[in-house]
Chain A
Amino acid sequence: MFPAAAIQVFTTQLPPALMSNLDSPSERLRQRFLHNPLLQRRQLLKYGLAGLGLTTASLAWQQLQPKPTARIPIVPANSPMMGNSFSPMQTLRDFDYGTVKQENGRTVREFKLVAGNTTLQLNTAVSFNSWNFNGRVPAPTLRAKAGELIRVSFLNRAGHSHSMHFHGFHPAAMDGIKPIRNGTGMIYEFEADPYGVHLYHCHVAPVTRHVGKGLYGMLIIDPPEARPVADELVLIMGGYDINDDGKNELYAFNGVPDYYMMHPIEIYQHQLVRLYVLNMIEIDPAVTFHLHANMFDVYPTGMTLKPSHTSDVITMGTAERHILEFKFKYPGEFMFHPHQDLIAENGCMGAFKVISAT
């Protein structure tokens, strides 16, 4: 359990559906209006005058310079939780942009993460004692722009010692190797560098168990010039050793096994989809990511602006991650999964439901 204070930061975020893919809240608001003009009035009322000023300015700009926009299906706020305190349907498009501050002309993004323990309902038969950040597995997807300063306040309320180790460039003191004892905390501060898809996880040994229990999440650092507009989705593969026997018995995309098989992810036909994919499966050395009936462009580690190649299968070792982009030519349901089929069949499986563009 973690204190209410920890949750507060995240509930003050805009709803996940608004967090499609642009940098600032006003940009994101503008996006939303364009997808769904009917919401405009209600949203304006909700977000108040400050939002109105910015939004009006953006809209004026928009009229002069039409930009392509992403079609993103509305995700109902009450998407199924399957017995958990979070919904993988929300996790998909939920980007935590932190609290933004300006310090000496520099943008600082502050994030708050609390390590705690919660019971996860992996399926109707299996409950699992997870260790996690902010009560969810995977942890919140933190997002910043290259060159900004990231400041993470970390509090450990989880019994064991934990830490936060970020991938990317940072000084040794910020490497998150030092265990932070239960009841104490640490502030990690480093520049958002380099741009790409990164990750963070607890680095206390045995790391296999600390990660396997759920202490991992994604860190996206956007390039200085935003990528083309797309429907952006986060998919993180994880494994569960439910009986501490050193083998994974269950697997999942975004924490809950088979969730997206039971609740396929809606996307639009012909719409550019940008997947941020991370493999956080411990114990098994590597898995692939395979998409049915399509080919995707690969941006390795998200560190390029041009794709390196195109495929429908990509191999990822633990902690490896990429940006994959694609559009669906045909409507209908299409699966995605690692092509280690035993792993897929033990929970690491999902489907896109492609909605006809017309």
Chain B
Amino acid sequence: MNVKKYLGVAIVACVASVVISACNNTTKIAETSSTTAPAATAPAAEMAGMNHGGGKKININSAILSELDKLEAKLGVPALSNKIQAERPYKAPEDLVAKKVIDQKQFDQIKDLVTIEDVVLTGVEKDADYMVKLGLMKGHLFVARELLDLKKPKDAEPHIGHPVEEIYTDVADQLNERKVKEFKTTLISLEDLVKAGAKDNNKVTTNFKESMVSIDTAIAAIPATQRKDPKFVLQVINGLLDTANSEYGASIADGKFKAAIEYQDSRGFITYVNMLYKEIAAGMEKDQPATHKIVVDNLKQLTTAWPAAMPPATPVKTVAEVGQLIKTIEQNTQKVITVAAK
């Protein structure tokens, strides 16, 4: 079989890797010479990127809309870019036909332009992916801190656990690459302390600080210019918002909060989103006043959905309302991000 195609195919469904400004020389394409590599041992390389190295092919699994627009323009099919996005993931370029996105004749016209082959994440995309993961970690810890302060170690426990369980393994390779000191041990010892009832308050506070500093140090491995660039920060914000959206949806059933953990997860992410936006607010107000206003207004409304660390008796906002606010922010900031990418 055609092994090379499946080297951890990138499926970027939403926002995390949406920007392709990283169209730089360091982008690597999955080498066609790798046919001897058994597919099954392929790294679970995460996602995305563009095939910008040699053939300038468009990766239909990960390309952003403006990139897909080239195909739309070539074939003259209205809204084709959106259709391509909607049918992801693709296991082969021919899936465009199999999934009835386009017909065989149309496919023949663009088959040399498209690929599904994975590329190693580089540049801005890689940084954004990395930062979203660390941002999720921070969000979990923020809400854990609040719950510890409320003397609810049992409620805090899952949020101390999530950074280790869900995220650390996922980001470990990148931490190594960026020469960030290992901090899983720090996170685990904090988890152990909280699991044991968080009895020694001083010890918990010390460990907590150490964990937070570790994550901040990991974030500092991203070049400062990048971290301060509104286009970059907005991408990270959208990654966090999308996750908050899904988790908020998983916290409510029958109009009531049924799963406090997911309410709290999403609260933590929104807390960090607010902090991140604050840092770019001045620049946004100056350069993108219209978008700035929309983001500020929607974010303010959105934040009211999480009035406290423990869920309120009745949700302030429905799942649909939260979804709509997040969508508005994502759509408006997307314009800024996409323009920047061109």
User: Which residues does A use to contact B, with CB under 8 Å?
Assistant: 1, 3-5, 8, 103-104, 106, 108, 110, 112, 117, 119, 127-129, 131, 149, 151, 153, 155, 157-161, 170-174, 177-187, 189-190, 204-206, 242, 244
Q: Is the CB of A184 within 8 A of B265?
A: no
A173 pairs with B43, CB closer than 8 A: yes
Q: Out of A155, A179, A183, which one reaches B239, CB within 8 Å? A: A183
List residues of B (130-178) whose CB comes within 8 Å of A's CBs: 132-133, 136, 158, 161-162, 164-167, 169-170
The segment from B50-58, B66-74, B81-89, B220-228 found at the interface with A is B81-89
Give the docked Cα–Cα distance between A296 and B170 (Å): 45
B14 at the interface (CB under 8 A from A): yes
B169 near A127 with CB under 8 A, answer no
A244:B261 contact, CB within 8 angstroms: yes
Q: Which interface residue of A153, A155, A158, A181 has the most chain B CB atoms within 10 A?
A: A181
Besides A179-B170, A205-B164, 11 other CB < 8 A contacts?
A112-B89, A155-B89, A159-B243, A160-B166, A179-B169, A181-B46, A181-B136, A182-B242, A184-B13, A185-B11, A242-B258
Q: Are B39 and A189 within 8 A (Cβ)?
A: yes
Residue contact A178 to B44, C-beta cutoff 8 Å? yes
Distance in angstroms between the alpha carbons of A182 and B43 in the assembled complex: 19
For chain B, residues 1 to 48, give those with C-beta under 8 angstroms from any C-beta of chain A: 1-2, 6, 8-16, 38-44, 46-47
Which of B204-212, B245-253, B297-305 is the interface stretch? B245-253
Q: How far is the CB of B187 from chain A (nearest CB, A)?
A: 12
Q: In the assembly, what is the distance between CA of A59 and CA of B188, in Å?
A: 63
Any chain A CB within 8 A of the CB of B97?
Answer: no
B6-A151 in contact (CB<8A)? yes
Q: Which of the residues A104, A129, A190, A206 comes within 8 Å of B258, measured between beta carbons?
A: A129
Q: Which A residues touch B252, using CB under 8 A?
A: 129
On chain B, the residues within 8 Å of A159 by CB distance are: 243-247, 249-250, 262, 265-266
Asked if residues B133 and A171 are in contact (CB atoms below 8 Å), the reply is: no
Known A-B contacts A4-B86, A127-B254, A128-B258; the reply to A187 vs B6 at CB < 8 A is yes
Quick one: closest B residue to A170, CB to CB?
B40
Contact A8 B166 (CB under 8 A): no
Query: Would A119 and B242 count as touching, CB distance under 8 A?
Result: no
For A191, give the chain B residue with the smallest CB separation.
B40
Contact B41 A117 (CB under 8 A): no
Q: Does B259 contact A (CB under 8 A)?
A: yes
Assess the A184–B246 pair: CB atoms within 8 A: no
Q: Which residues of A contact B42 (CB under 8 A)?
A: 173
For this complex, 6 residue pairs linking A to B, each with C-beta atoms less than 8 Å apart, are: A5-B99, A129-B252, A157-B246, A181-B166, A181-B243, A189-B39
Are B41's CB and A171's CB within 8 A? Answer: yes
- B1/A104 in contact, CB under 8 A: yes
- Return chain B residues, CB-CB under 8 Å to A104: 1
User: Which of chain B's residues has its CB closest to A153's CB?
Assistant: B89
In the complex, the chain A residue whose C-beta lies closest to that of B269 is A159
CB of B184 within 8 Å of the partner chain: no
- How long is the Cα–Cα vector from A189 to B87 in the complex, in angstroms? 20
- Which residues of A have CB within 8 Å of B247? 159-160
- Does B260 touch A at the CB level, under 8 Å? yes
CB distance from B227 to the nearest CB of A (A): 20
Q: List residues of chain A with CB within 8 A of the CB of B243.
A: 159, 181-183
Q: How far is the CB of A306 from chain B (nearest CB, A)?
A: 31
Give the nearest-CB partner of A182 in chain B: B243
In the assembled complex, the CB of B276 is this many whole angstroms from the nearest CB of chain A, namely: 17
CB–CB A129/B169 < 8 A? no
Are A8 and B265 in contact, with the CB atoms below 8 A? no
Q: Distance in Å from the Cβ of B249 to the closest Cβ of chain A?
A: 6
CA distance A155 to B9 in the complex (A): 11
Range class of the B interface residue count: 35 or more
Identify which of residues 257-276 in chain B touch chain A, using a CB-to-CB cut-off of 8 Å: 258-262, 265-266
Q: Check B249 against A117 for contact (C-beta < 8 Å).
A: yes
Contact call A206/B161, Cβ cutoff below 8 A: yes
Contact partners of A180 in chain B: CB under 8 A: 44, 46, 170
Q: 4 nearest interchain CB pairs?
A: A185-B11, A159-B246, A205-B165, A159-B247
Q: Is the CB of B16 within 8 A of A184?
A: yes
Query: Which residues from A are CB-within-8-Å of B87?
Result: 5
Complex CA gap A140/B165 in Å reads 26
Query: Which of chain A's residues has its CB closest to B5's CB?
Result: A187
Cα-based distance from A337 to B170 in the complex (angstroms): 40
Q: A129-B252, A151-B6 are in contact. Are A182 and B40 (CB under 8 A)?
A: no
Could you tell me the distance between the alpha carbons of A106 and B3 in the complex, rounded to whole angstroms? Answer: 13
Contact in complex: A181, B133 (CB < 8 Å): yes
Does the CB pair A177–B169 fall under 8 Å? yes
For A4, the closest partner residue in chain B by CB is: B86
CA–CA, A127 and B12, complex, Å = 31
CB of A158, distance to nearest CB on chain B (Å) = 6
A173 and B165 contacting across the interface, CB-CB below 8 Å: no
Q: Which residues of A contact B89 (CB under 8 A)?
A: 112, 153, 155, 185, 187
In the complex, whether B91 has a CB less than 8 A from a CB of chain A is yes
Determine the distance from Cα of A110 to Cα of B9 in the docked complex, in whole angstroms: 14
Complex contact A173–B44 (CB within 8 A): yes
- In the bound complex, do residue A189 and residue B161 qualify as a contact, i.e. CB atoms below 8 Å apart? no
Question: Is the Cβ of B260 less than 8 Å from the Cβ of A5?
Answer: no
Chain B's nearest CB lies how many Å from the CB of A303?
22
A282: min CB distance to chain B, Å: 15
In the complex, residue of chain B having the shortest beta-carbon distance to the beta carbon of A115: B246
Q: A161-B166, A206-B161 are in contact. Are A117 and B254 (CB under 8 A)?
A: no
Assembled-state Cα–Cα distance A171/B38 (Å): 10
* Residues of chain B contacted by A117 (CB below 8 angstroms): 246, 249-250
Contact with A along B295-315 (1 / 0, CB 8 A): 000000000000000000000
Q: Is the CB of A155 within 8 A of B91?
A: no
Q: Which residues of B contact A179 (CB under 8 A)?
A: 165-167, 169-170
